[in-house]
Amino acid sequence: MSTNHPDPEATGADTPYLDFAGTTPYEDYVQADVLTHLQHLRSDDPGEMVFLVTTQVMELWFTVIVHEWETATRALREDRIPVARDALKRSLRELEALNESWRPLAGLTPAQFNSYRGSLGEGSGFQSAMYRRMEFLLGDKSASMLVPHRGAPRVYAELEKALGEPSLYDETLALLARRGYAIPEAVIGRDLTKRYEPSPEVEAVWAEIYASDDQNDELVRLGELLTDVGELVWRWRNDHLVATRRAMGSKTGTGGSAGVAWLEKRATKNVFPELWTARSHV
């Protein structure tokens, strides 16, 4: 007869609890069985598995980073800078892990990639809804990027909502305005569905903040955390560019994208632009 409590003398006092009526509490929480059966390969090439799993892992990192940045955005709106800083600090570690996700794919030769590239069909990374939400939170807004998701109502609604909400940087600048800094009304009241464009006045505000005698000031530290985020995003884009260039050269990307040409253009752009340019004036 089965027992729910193994005899410590028979199994050893340090033996973990093993007998569960159904699934384990670990499985109930993590849903590992679901995660490890989401890989539906479309080719016979053994390399497709690492490509698919790595891509799925990236999607999970996108999800947690969006959670952190949304947490930070709300905290900034509520003037809770320590909460925002904590969320941003966590996101830095998560961005580092995300960037490391390129390693399994970074050394692909063109022949290795071509062996299962056809399995992607018209699929392309730029179609990732969760990555798009990351970009929107960084202020890189574009209504046209909702178009690929018109056939998925829930995803489309979430993206449409994110498009019209303040980005992480928008809430940062609104905070600075509440603190008395000269953030122009044209910036505060801008159309949030449009891509953020740099402002000389905002650049001057950051230069003023960075020129402070107190380099431990909470706004200086907030600016540095945002700069850390911007740097890791830049590294992500460049690692993506290098991995793609190695795997497929300058060929047209899947899904009709321009491939390397598209990624090269993306890699030249900084997020939170005035945090970078203001340093020339301090």
CB 231, CB 95: distance < 8 Å: no
Q: Is 254 labeled as ligand-binding?
A: yes
Residues making up the binding site for substrate:
117, 254
Q: What residue numbers does the annotated binding site cover? A: 117, 240, 254
Residues in the annotated binding site for heme:
240
